[in-house]
Amino acid sequence: MDFTVLRLTLPRMAVSAMLAVSLFASIAEAKDISSFGGTELGTVPEFHPELGMGWLEGYLDQKALPNSLLLIPRPPEAGSTAQLLDDEVARNTLALRTTPRFALAENDFDLKFSSLISDFSCALNTQITEENAPYLSTLLRRSVSDLGLSTYTAKNYYHRTRPFQQNNEPIGVPKYRAELAKDPSYPSGHTAIGWGLALLLTEIVPDRADEILARGRAFGESRMVVNHHWYSDVVWGRFMGAATVARLHASPTFRADLEAARAEVAVVLAKGLAPAGDCKAEAAALALGFQASDVTAIDILLEPDTTMLQHAKANNARLLKAYPAGFPLDAAHNPHITLIQRFVRTADLDKMYARIDQVFTSAKVADMKLAAIKYYYIPTNDLGVAGIVIERTPELVKLQADLIDAVRPFAVATGSSAAFVTTPDDPLIDPLLIGYVSTFVPEASGEHFNPHITTGVAARKYLEDMIAEPFERFTFSPAGAAVYQLGQFGTAARKLNAVDVNR
């Protein structure tokens, strides 16, 4: 959070909806909640009204705020491993400049209260306003002041410069560059606010905790996307947000307001109001993450028709019955036929899509007749990854060769974990997978091409018996084609571009 910029920018609820309405009605009849220690609506002065932010004075005085100088470590020193990580993350955001994720990050810069509550509308799956939730609004408008102020003891002591002052790269909301440069970077106040509000909202709407926390985390990550903050600024800003929420719970007034907000929001949720904004577009932007490598690990694939899907899902059900710890065929494990896997330059993806589209159009993929000929499995210790083998035909081999030629101008030799879709809990890609993608051409192409559809996992003994069974050959056709970004274990994790093969 940047006060110099602000001057310019302006336990699960067990009660039924009926009980919530009753509780809220009793509160409303009292006109305010001061009778049991809460904030009387309309009595708290605005926090620096000249800023136009719509915040109220916080619950905590300056001495009661968590002391960020005592609670968080010094910012990374130049040349340290931590600073090298900050530098790498900053570089990895650059490829997001022209994407919806960057536009969302610019929107997240706005700290006006009306914007803040709107940012969480999709996560809450409802529309909260100051009119339909005055107690919640008071709670959050007071808390946000405490959350932002909690970062300034460390900010004013360390005076850390921002990433754009060192890497000289463009920033989001560039008209505030000079003002941002005057405000210290460490830790991030925006992040403390976003994470703190997410924590409070999860207490009020626990059924939406995952969605709310994910949006709160992304709110802080937006600070890196726009090149306003370092990775470590965001990490420790999130910490200060959590520390402030913990301290707020020691305030009887805060706790009373929290209970009133719970009852009030239950009434709002019961009305079934639609969220504000385009939640589908927001989800697509958030799916891009907060950093993108200069290199992307891709899987160019064919999507099978319903005939193959039925066979694949039947085999998957069989394998899950034999080995329940395996994976289902779902949105994260779509049945497909890999044609090529490669590392390519992220900046060239659009050019590559155009070349690939031409190849698929010329090949008349929708007219192809493919044959499933047997089961297979690849052993991994006592288990095996199994699937259905597709007959390798001259037509398929030529399609693969044409795609390799189309992608070659944009390909690079190898990549790192950042080229794949990862999660915070599983951020490192197995080096064997990186090696496999690096050498897919030529080691899995041409005469080495083995077209197949992966259907699941089971014990090797079971799979030995399965592949020994008679296999009834069947034919099918491609229903589509696409480019995916690879994830852990070589899964087609994120669709990057779809190809209409029926043109």
Residue numbers annotated as active site: 190, 223, 229, 233
- For the chain, how big is the Rg over CA atoms in Å? 27
Rounded distance between C-alpha atoms, residue 275 and residue 273, angstroms: 6
| Sign (positive or negative) of CA dihedral 264, 269, 271, 273 | positive
List Cβ neighbours of 355 (8 Å cut-off, separation of 6 or more).
406, 407, 409
Q: DSSP states of 423-461 as a string? A: BTTB----HHHHHHHHTHHHHTSGGG---EEEEEEEEHH
Q: Which DSSP letter does residue 126 get?
A: S
Beta bridge partners of 492: 486
- Using DSSP's 3-state secondary structure scheme, residue 337 falls into strand
Minimal CA–CA distance to 454: which of 272, 342, 313? 313
Q: Give 3-state DSSP helix, strand, coil % of the chain, rounded to 5.
A: 55, 15, 30
Q: Indicate the burial class of 381 (C-beta count within 10 angstroms; 0-12, 13-18, 19 or more).
A: exposed
Give backbone dihedrals phi and psi of 371, rounded to 5 degrees, phi first.
Answer: -120, 130
Rounded distance between C-alpha atoms, residue 342 and residue 434, angstroms: 10
Rounded distance between C-alpha atoms, residue 487 and residue 501, angstroms: 25
Rounded distance between C-alpha atoms, residue 251 and residue 246, angstroms: 10
